[in-house]
C-alpha cells in the first residue's frame, strides 16, 4: 500500500541493520586505541506555549560538546512546514535529521493531497519513527503548529512517547524554565505577554543551566503566518577585551617554499553574457 506522504514504505518490524556495524566499528577503533567520536549534544533549554492567537516556541542557542561550547549561535527551532516549527533537544545530528526527514515527508504529502499537513499527522510520523529506533535516536522534540483544527503543542520523547500540552519545556534546562512557566502561565494569553513569558523561561534556563546559554530565539506561529525572530534577544555579555591580538604579517616563520608553475595553453575562448537584470 503506498502511503501518500513517504517515498518508500518503511520495512515492518524493527530495523537493527546498523547495530552489528557499530559494534564492529567500536572494536576497530578501541583496538587501535582511538576513542569513538562523541556526538555533539545541544544541552539545551527549549520551551513552548499555546496562546490565544497561536503558538510561541523559544530556544537558547548554545551547543556543547562535553564541557566545551561548540557553537554559540546554533539554530534549534527547525522548519517543518509553513504552519509548523519544531524545537529539538538532545543529540544535535539526531534532531536536525529527524526534523529534516519529517519536513520532506510532509512536503510530499502536501503535493500529493493538495492540503496543508495537520499537526497530529506530524506528531504521529515522529512517534512512529522514534519508537521504531527504540530510543537510539536521542531527539527530544517540541512540535508546535497552527492548522484548521486549532493551535497545538506536542512533545515527542526519544523513546516515542507523546504528550499534548498547553505549555512545556525540554532539555537540560527544562526544570528552571518550567518553574517560570508554571508560575505565570494562563490559558488564552495575549501574544506579547506570551512572548515575554517564553523569553523569561528560556532566560532562567540559560542562567541556571551550564549547558544552555548565549542568545534566545523565538518563533511565533499564527493563522496569518510565522514570525521567526532570531535572535529575539542577544546575550548581554559582549566581548570586552582590552588588548588587541593581531599579528603582523611575517610572524609565522616560513620554513620552505616550493613554486610549481602550471603549464596552461589557451585553446578556446568564449564569452557568455550574464543576465544581471
Determine the length of the chain. 277
In the set 33, 35, 38, 241, which binds another protein (CB under 8 A)?
241
Q: Angle at CA 112, nearest 5°, toward 103 and 123?
A: 35
Q: Please say if 276 is a catalytic residue.
A: no
Nearer to another protein, 62 or 152 (CB): 62
What residues contact 29, with CB distance under 8 A and at least 6 apart?
Answer: 35, 36
1-9, 14-22, 30-38, 86-94 -> range binding another protein (CB under 8 A): 86-94
All three cell numbers of 192: 506579547
Selection from 74, 56, 54, 55 nearest residue 64 by Cα? 74
In the set 10, 135, 150, 187, which binds another protein (CB under 8 A)?
135
Q: Does 8 bind another protein (CB under 8 A)?
A: no
Q: Give min distance, CB of 196 to another protein, in A.
A: 19
In the set 171, 178, 198, 232, which binds another protein (CB under 8 A)?
171
47-55, 110-118, 192-200, 242-250 -> range binding another protein (CB under 8 A): 242-250
Residue with cell 568564449: 270
Q: Does 247 bind another protein (CB under 8 A)?
A: yes
Q: Give min distance, CB of 53 to another protein, in A.
A: 30
Q: What are phi and psi of 19, to 5 degrees?
A: -65, -50
Q: Does 138 bind another protein (CB under 8 A)?
A: yes
Q: What are phi and psi of 113, to 5 degrees?
A: -105, -15
In the set 144, 213, 217, 226, which binds another protein (CB under 8 A)?
213
Nearer to another protein, 58 or 138 (CB): 138
Percent of residues in the chain assigned helix, strand, coil, to nearest 5: 30, 25, 45
Q: Give min distance, CB of 261 to another protein, in A.
A: 28
Among positions 46-85, residues that touch another protein (CB under 8 A) are: 62, 64, 67-69, 72
Nearer to another protein, 67 or 265 (CB): 67
All three cell numbers of 79: 522548519
Distances (CA, A) of 143 to 7, 48, 185, 235: 23, 8, 19, 25
Q: Does 115 bind another protein (CB under 8 A)?
A: no
Buried b (16+ CB within 10 A) or exposed e, 170-185: bbbbbebbbebbeeeb
Instruction: Decide: 89 and 46 in contact? Cβ < 8 Å.
Output: yes
Q: Does 210 bind another protein (CB under 8 A)?
A: yes
What residues contact 245, with CB distance under 8 A and at least 6 apart?
Answer: none
Tell me the per-residue interface mask from 88 to 107 with another protein, x by CB under 8 A, - otherwise: -xxx----------------
- Check 42, 44, 45, 99 and give the catalytic one: 44
DSSP result, 207-222: HH-TT--S-EEEEEEE
Contacts with another protein by CB under 8 A lie at: 41, 43, 62, 64, 67-69, 72, 89-91, 134-135, 138, 140, 157-159, 161, 171-172, 206-214, 235, 237, 239-243, 245, 247-248, 250-253
Give the residue numbers annotated as catalytic, written as ranges: 44
Amino acid at each position: 500500500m503506498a502511503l501518500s506522504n513517504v517515498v518508500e514504505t518503511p520495512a515492518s518490524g524493527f530495523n537493527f541493520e546498523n547495530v552489528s556495524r557499530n559494534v564492529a566499528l567500536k572494536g576497530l577503533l578501541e583496538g587501535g586505541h582511538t576513542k569513538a567520536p562523541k556526538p555533539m549534544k545541544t544541552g539545551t533549554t527549549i520551551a513552548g506555549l499555546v496562546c490565544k492567537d497561536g503558538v510561541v516556541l523559544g530556544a537558547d542557542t548554545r551547543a556543547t560538546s562535553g564541557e566545551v561550547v561548540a557553537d554559540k549561535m546554533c539554530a534549534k527551532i527547525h522548519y517543518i512546514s509553513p504552519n509548523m516549527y519544531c524545537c529539538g533537544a538532545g543529540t544535535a545530528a539526531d534532531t536536525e535529521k529527524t526534523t529534516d526527514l519529517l519536513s520532506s515527508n510532509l512536503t510530499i504529502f502536501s503535493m500529493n493531497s493538495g492540503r496543508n499537513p495537520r499537526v497530529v499527522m506530524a506528531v504521529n510520523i515522529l512517534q512512529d519513527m522514534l519508537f521504531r529506533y527504540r530510543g537510539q535516536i536521542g531527539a527530544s522534540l517540541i512540535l508546535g503548529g497552527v492548522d484548521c483544527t486549532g493551535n497545538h503543542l506536542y512533545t515527542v520523547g526519544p523513546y516515542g512517547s507523546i504528550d499534548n500540552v498547553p505549555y512545556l519545556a525540554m532539555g537540560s534546562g527544562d526544570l528552571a524554565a518550567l518553574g517560570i512557566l508554571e508560575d505565570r502561565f494562563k490559558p488564552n494569553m495575549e501574544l506579547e505577554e506570551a512572548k515575554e513569558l517564553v523569553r523569561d523561561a528560556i532566560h532562567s534556563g540559560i542562567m541556571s543551566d551550564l549547558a544552555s546559554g548565549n542568545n534566545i530565539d523565538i518563533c511565533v506561529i499564527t493563522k496569518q503566518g510565522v514570525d521567526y525572530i532570531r535572535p529575539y534577544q542577544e546575550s548581554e555579555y559582549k566581548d570586552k577585551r582590552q588588548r588587541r591580538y593581531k599579528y603582523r604579517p611575517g610572524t609565522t616563520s616560513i620554513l620552505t617554499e616550493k613554486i610549481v608553475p602550471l603549464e596552461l595553453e589557451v585553446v578556446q575562448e568564449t564569452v557568455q553574457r550574464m543576465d544581471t537584470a
